[in-house]
Amino acid sequence: MREIIDLVHAATEAAERAAAYIRATPLPPLADWSEKSPHDFVTRVDRDAEAIIAEILNRRVPGSSVVGEELSPEAARAGELVWVVDPLDGTTNYLHGYPQYAVSVACLVHGTPSVGVVHDVTRNVSYRAGLGGGAWIGERRLAVSPVVHARQALVGTGFPFKRLDTLERYLRQLGAVMRGASGVRRAGAAALDLADVAAGRLDAFWELWLAPWDVAAGVVLIREAGGVVSTIEGADDVLGAESIVGANPAMHRWLVDVLKHA
> In this structure, what CATH number is given to the domain that contains residue 204?
3.40.190.80
Q: What is the pLDDT of residue 91?
A: 93
Under DSSP, is residue 209 helix (H, G, I), strand (E, B) or coil?
A: coil
Domain that holds residue 40: 2-141
Confidence (pTM): 0.94
Same domain as 234, residue 196: yes
CATH number, domain containing residue 62:
3.30.540.10
**86 φ/ψ angles, rounded to the nearest 5 degrees:** -120, 105
Q: Report the alpha-carbon distance of residue 124 to residue 15 in Å, rounded.
A: 10
In this structure, the answer to whether residues 158 and 132 fall within a common structural domain is: no
Task: Give residue 194's pLDDT.
Answer: 98
- DSSP label at residue 15: H
Same domain membership, residue 7 and residue 122: yes
pLDDT band for 77, please (50, 70, 90 cuts).
low
Is residue 241 within 8 Å of 215, Cβ to Cβ? no
Q: Residue 78 CB: number of other CB atoms within 10 A?
A: 12
Which of 110, 141, 172 represents a domain boundary (last residue)? Answer: 141
pLDDT at 32: 77
- Identify whether residues 212 and 102 lie together within a single domain: no
Look at residue 70 and tell me whether its pLDDT is greater than 90.
no
pLDDT digit string, tens, across residues 218-259: 999 999 999 999 999 999 999 988 899 999 999 999 999 999
Contact 160, 209 (CB under 8 A): yes
3-state secondary structure of 159: coil
The answer on pLDDT for 169 being more than 70 is yes
Query: What pLDDT is attached to residue 73?
Result: 46
What pLDDT, on the 0 to 100 scale, is given for residue 19?
A: 98
Residues 131 and 221 in one domain: no
Q: Of the given ranges (62-71, 152-161, 175-184), which has the lowest mean pLDDT?
A: 62-71
**Mean per-residue pLDDT, 162-187:** 96
**What total of structural domains would you count in the chain?**
2
119 and 231, same domain (yes or no): no
Distance of alpha carbon 5 from alpha carbon 201, whole angstroms? 26
Q: Which of 82, 110, 141 is the last residue of a domain?
A: 141
Which one of 105, 123, 141 terminates a domain? 141
The pLDDT tens digits of the residues spanning 120-156 come to 999 999 999 999 999 999 999 999 999 999 999 999 9
Q: Are residues 124 and 160 in the same domain?
A: no
| Distance (Å, whole) CA 216 – CA 83 | 9
